[in-house]
Amino acid sequence: MKLELQGITKRFGSLVANDHIDLVVEPGQVHSLLGENGAGKSTLMNVLYGLYEPSEGRILVDGQPVSFSGPGDAMAAGIGMVHQHFMLVPVFTVAENVALGNEATKATGMLNLSQTRAKIKAISDQYGFDVDPDAIVEDLPVGVQQRVEIIKALVRDAEVLILDEPTAVLTPKETDELLAIMGQLKSDGKSIVFISHKLREVKQVSDLITVIRRGKVVGTADPDSSTTELASLMVGRAVSLTLDKAPAQPGEATFRITDLTVLAPNGQRVVDGISLEIRRGEILAVAGVQGNGQTELTEAVLGLQGHVSGSITLEGHELVGRSVKEIIRAGVGFVPEDRNVEGLVGPFSVAENLILNRYDQEPFAKGLGLKPAVIQQNAREKIAEFDVRTQSAQAAAGTLSGGNQQKVVMARELSRPLKLFIASQPTRGVDVGSIEFLHKRIVAERDGGTPVMIVSTELDEVLELADRIAVLYRGRLMGIVPGNTSRDVVGLMMAGMPAEEALGQEQEFGTEPGSGEL
């Protein structure tokens, strides 16, 4: 099936999210849409999937103009979509989820799930999905849940599959598996629209790359183009993808975690006997797939976790058992993993957010009274220093873009003398241009002699920033390896292999040395 978008424009009030976008997806082709967060990729796909009506332009299927008034129409026309956030009912089985919205019933009106089960079996066998139709969806790993979404589309005879940022939630191994599946689907004659901002993956699977910036198609590229080329197309200016980072000059180890264990409210050991130390002027990156104890580890350092045993010392002072406020006062800078939930108070102004943990200290307050003039002055300085794009210091932080919100959080944490800096997912959902800036600030803090801990689920980021890498798996430390360790070894460790074994295996099979190119 050949799919064509001609001059698609989508406006939201005065905002043009898509500006005359043309796109042709040939049968049996993987067509990647590359663009920064907010470039309009998802809007375009929602137009294609019938969720939005285009303000202008038309969609052609096999040369025939079609008009979708909803996802039902799009599905009927053979378009299937796998959303970034899965549309599955967690407590239903795979078969029930696949049948949902398309239920076959027996004469009595009872559900006929056996038919759906058979279809799932057939598809699962054909592509090697290894999905049990009777498994409860919430018990499945994220990667398998994603396959259920793909099955949902295939059961409805989709010829074109739209995958919206499918790798964002996957481990490196799951990502590889998904890319393989995409290859299989392609050889079966299905077309795939692959949306991503990860250049490496896009280059690996695409037949054709269309780059979108600020709602417009700014060019198409060949998968052989260099990553630098693609990145500058995407951002609109030359970006340096490799961080200029001088080798670390580590000093003494001032931050120590000894035998740290954190219990979840249900008694599970979410952090299990971790010991590590970070030296001054060194970045330790904590790698791991999301949900393997990283959140709890950083929160334990900040005093946000309840059931903590073991010891955390900063310059010889014990942190366990002290309040969050005391720990912040002791010189711990903390960038939480979800800025909207933990980092910022959305309705508060940028100025207020910039003093969120120093509001009651000189010079921002005297006694019980705040000093608005000082707070404003501070905001103006930080906004300039960190290049925060905001209408004013009084704008609510919730109205800023992700990258600018992150700059606000970073500006707050880096603008006081620190003895330890912890950043969780420092660049999640941040555009490429801001990533460069934020990374430089992190390295600058390191070069100032602060021990730095970075937690990231993005392997690229870990490899780029780290002087040493600690890998967590199910709350346990798989080992600490040097910053230049290959991608494959770290990937194996993220999947639960101890460091020695992973290093040994690499030597044995002589896998190509990983390049931390991005």
Residues in 1-40 that interact with other proteins by CB under 8 A? 11-15, 17, 36-40
Residue 65 in contact with other proteins, rule: CB under 8 A: yes
Stretch that binds other proteins, among 26-34, 155-163, 350-358, 447-455 (CB under 8 A): 350-358
- 309's enclosing H/E stretch is strand 307-314
Binding track, positions 358-387, relative to other proteins; x by CB under 8 A: -xx----x--xxx-x---------------
User: In this chain, which of 57, 310, 448, 498 binds other proteins, going by CB under 8 A?
Assistant: 57
Is the Cβ–Cβ distance between 137 and 94 less than 8 Å? yes
Q: Which of residues 336 and 451 has its CB atom nearest to other proteins in the complex?
A: 336
243 CB-contact burial (10 Å; exposed 0-12 / middle 13-18 / buried 19+): middle
Minimal CA–CA distance to 88: which of 25, 166, 8, 145? 145
Residue 104 in contact with other proteins, rule: CB under 8 A: no
Residue 46 in contact with other proteins, rule: CB under 8 A: yes
User: In this chain, which of 250, 310, 331, 429 binds other proteins, going by CB under 8 A?
Assistant: 429
Residue 328 in contact with other proteins, rule: CB under 8 A: yes
User: In this chain, which of 30, 61, 88, 503 binds other proteins, going by CB under 8 A?
Assistant: 88
Minimal CA–CA distance to 313: which of 381, 385, 256, 368? 256
Tokens describing residue 334: 């903390």
Q: Which residues contact 188 (CB under 8 A, 6 or more apart)?
A: none
Dihedral in degrees, nearest 10, Cα atoms 383, 41, 140, 158: 170
Residue 430 in contact with other proteins, rule: CB under 8 A: yes
Binding track, positions 164-183, relative to other proteins; x by CB under 8 A: ----xx--------------
Residue 405 in contact with other proteins, rule: CB under 8 A: yes
Tokens describing residue 342: 């933990």
Residue list 494-513, contact with other proteins (CB under 8 A)? none
Residue 56 in contact with other proteins, rule: CB under 8 A: yes
Which segments of 265-333 does DSSP mark as H helices, in order? 294-302, 324-329
Residue list 282-311, contact with other proteins (CB under 8 A)? 290-291, 302, 304
Q: Which residue has the tokens 């120590």?
A: 256
Stretch that binds other proteins, among 45-53, 255-263, 377-385, 489-497 (CB under 8 A): 45-53
Task: Output the DSSP codes for 399-441.
Answer: GS-HHHHHHHHHHHHHTS--SEEEEESTTTT--HHHHHHHHHH
Minimal CA–CA distance to 302: which of 440, 146, 423, 152? 423
Query: Rounded to whole angstroms, how far apart are CA atoms 199 and 41?
Result: 15
Task: Output the DSSP codes for 59-90.
Answer: EEETTEEE--SSHHHHHHTTEEEE-SS----T
Task: Output the DSSP codes for 181-195.
Answer: HHHHHHHTT-EEEEE
The one-letter amino acid at 315: E
User: In this chain, which of 53, 125, 188, 381 binds other proteins, going by CB under 8 A?
Assistant: 53
Task: Please report how close the Cβ of residue 18 comes to other proteins at its closest, in angstroms.
Answer: 11
Task: Please report how close the Cβ of residue 190 comes to other proteins at its closest, in angstroms.
Answer: 23
Task: Please report how close the Cβ of residue 326 comes to other proteins at its closest, in angstroms.
Answer: 8
Kindly provide the b/e burial profile for residues 62-80, where b requires at least 16 CB atoms within 10 angstroms of the residue's own CB: eeeebebeebeebbebbbb
Residue list 178-217, contact with other proteins (CB under 8 A)? 214-215
User: In this chain, which of 32, 116, 124, 145 binds other proteins, going by CB under 8 A?
Assistant: 145
User: In this chain, which of 44, 45, 77, 83 binds other proteins, going by CB under 8 A?
Assistant: 83
Binding track, positions 444-483, relative to other proteins; x by CB under 8 A: ----------------------------------------
Task: Please report how close the Cβ of residue 244 comes to other proteins at its closest, in angstroms.
Answer: 24
Task: Please report how close the Cβ of residue 371 comes to other proteins at its closest, in angstroms.
Answer: 9
Stretch that binds other proteins, among 267-275, 307-315, 425-433, 442-450 (CB under 8 A): 425-433
Q: Using omega within 30 degrees of 0 as the cis cutoff, is the peptide bond preceding 363 cis?
A: yes
Tokens describing residue 70: 């909803």
User: In this chain, which of 1, 4, 20, 100 binds other proteins, going by CB under 8 A?
Assistant: 100
User: In this chain, which of 389, 392, 444, 504 binds other proteins, going by CB under 8 A?
Assistant: 389
Residue 142 in contact with other proteins, rule: CB under 8 A: yes
Task: Please report how close the Cβ of residue 455 comes to other proteins at its closest, in angstroms.
Answer: 13
Q: Which residues contact 265 (CB under 8 A, 6 or more apart)?
A: 306, 307
Q: Which residues pair with 60 in a beta bridge?
A: 4, 65
Q: Which of residues 228 and 340 has its CB atom nearest to other proteins in the complex?
A: 340
Task: Please report how close the Cβ of residue 347 comes to other proteins at its closest, in angstroms.
Answer: 5
